[in-house]
Amino acid sequence: MKNTLTAMALALSATAVFAEDKVTIEFAYPYSHLFDVTYEAMMPAFQAAHPNIEVKFRATYESYEDATNTVLREAVAGNLPDVSMQGLNRQAPLVDKGIAQSLAPFIAAEADFETEGYHEAMLSLSTFDDEVYGLPFSISLPVGYYNMDILREGGITELPTTWDEVISACKTMKANGVDNPIFWGWNITGNWFVQALLWSQDKAIVEDGRVTMDSPEALVALEQMQEIFTECEMQNLEWKAALSSFSAGDVGMMFWSTSALGAVERSQGDFELVTGPFPGLDGAPMGLPAGGNAAMLTSTSEDPAVREAAWTWLKFITSGEGAAQVAMTTGYMPPNKAANEIILADFYEQNPNKQTAVDQLPLLRDWLAYPGDNGLAITQVIYDGIERIVTGDATDMQELQEELVEEIADLLPNG
């Protein structure tokens, strides 16, 4: 009996110590409809490997813009999460304001960090002044989604490679009784598709601290959007409604991020879905912006155990094992060679629709944020301008360009 009581006492003591050692960290991420299933798939392995770490999930951010605004407010209130997922184009403001913290000390302590396989090109998207401030979690590129049943009914068997071919396919579908042949993702976060049209011409939207909306390439982009919207008679759908309409089989072609592929497949109606490369203005695009997000350390805790736990979580979700779940549950590409080359060795061969974005990786360019404290306001100015094209309120693209340039200039630090 005495031995039994002693054993029980030791067990209770160990349990108490374990409970005291339990560390809770807080984590926030965007786009619940895309990523909820990803984190659900990750958690069992993480909990098994790190039973002493509890990850408390905060309310999800609606978008990357919302993620930045939320963190900026939380920084003022002193209520930041320990780890925050931020859009690749929204990292710089958080670094500049000292909200995101350098990961260099943690990386230096990892003897095998380099062998974990992070793509240098992707890691560079989170590198500022030669220090890493975020680990890329998911990378996306724009692609085309095609309802092949609708296309074949109109006699279309080849995927379009240029926007002229897309417009021709629209007209064929309209003549064949399709009410809404296309959704083109003008309203995707961060003016991403505007940047896609500029990078297609090998032109960055920000150069030397100025926004290049006054460039000839920007006018070409505006005119191309107008042609797509008007010639295809595109309906002005809110983006979630557009994804639902395509999944239901009501839209013939959708141009959006590869990120939504998992969500589309899970809700897909009875039709053949095929993805294809993002069309170009005249031939293949010369470049495309890298979408996606990175995990950033934003903890204000001075407890070394909390900070170490936050790093453990951040490292796990971007590692080979964690990143593989990104590919399996979404359409994002893992930014980790271990995931792509080892864990997912046969995955892309068996999932050709997810291979499309991987094939476009040589086109990867930076997704650029606008300079200064008014970067989000500039995003909104361009968003509002493009919506005027969609609704038909703006018909003269040169005039619209001049208006946008003037409004943006007022928001830039250098005027």
> What confidence score (pLDDT) does residue 17 get?
40
3-class DSSP string for the chain: CHHHHHHHHHHHHHHHHHHHHCEEEEEECECHHHHHHHHHHHHHHHHHHCCCEEEEECCCECCHHHHHHHHHHHHHHCCCCCEEEEEHHHHHHHHHCCCCCCCHHHHHCCCCCHHHCECHHHHHHHEECCEECEEEEEEECEEEEEEHHHHHHCCCCCCCCEHHHHHHHHHHHHHCCCCEEEEECCCCHHHHHHHHHHHHCCCCCEECCEECCCCHHHHHHHHHHHHHHHHCCCCCCCHHHHHHHHHCCCEEEEEEEHHHHHHHHHHCCCCCEEEEECCECCCCCCCEECEEEEEEECCCCCCHHHHHHHHHHHHHHHCHHHHHHHHHHCCCECCEHHHHHHHCCCHHHHCHHHHHHHHCHHHEECCCCCCCCCHHHHHHHHHHHHHHHHHCCCCCHHHHHHHHHHHHHHHCCCC
pTM of the predicted structure, to 2 decimals = 0.85
Task: State the Rg of the chain over Cα.
Answer: 23
The residue type at 313: W
Tokens at 391, concatenated: 């609704």
pLDDT of residue 3: 44
- For residues 48-79, b (16+ Cβ closer than 10 Å) or e, as one string? eeeeebebeeeebbeebbebbebbbebbeeee
- What is the C-alpha to C-alpha distance for residues 83 and 94, in angstroms, rounded to an integer? 13
Give every CB contact of residue 166 below 8 A, 6+ residues apart in sequence: 160, 182, 228, 232, 253, 279
Q: Which amino acid is at 413?
A: P
The confidence score (pLDDT) of residue 397 equals 98
Torsion on CA atoms 11, 17, 19, 22, rounded to nearest 10? -140
Q: State the CB neighbour count (10 A cutoff) for residue 342.
A: 12
Q: Measuring CA to CA, which residue among 54, 413, 30, 89 is closest to residue 259?
A: 30
The Cα–Cα gap between 249 and 398 comes to 36
pLDDT (tens, 9 = 90+) of the chain, 415 residues, equals 434 333 333 343 344 444 458 999 999 999 998 999 999 999 999 999 999 999 999 999 999 999 999 999 999 999 999 999 999 888 989 999 999 999 999 988 987 776 456 666 667 778 899 999 999 888 899 999 999 999 999 999 999 999 999 999 999 999 999 999 999 999 999 999 999 999 999 999 999 989 999 999 999 999 999 999 999 999 999 988 999 999 999 999 999 999 999 989 999 999 999 999 999 999 999 999 989 999 999 999 999 999 999 999 999 998 878 888 888 899 888 877 777 776 787 888 899 999 998 899 889 898 998 998 899 999 999 999 999 999 999 999 999 999 999 999 999 997 6
All domains in the chain, ordered by first residue: 23-140+291-365 (3.40.190.10), 142-289+370-411 (3.40.190.10)
> Cα(348)–Cα(275) distance, rounded to whole angstroms?
13
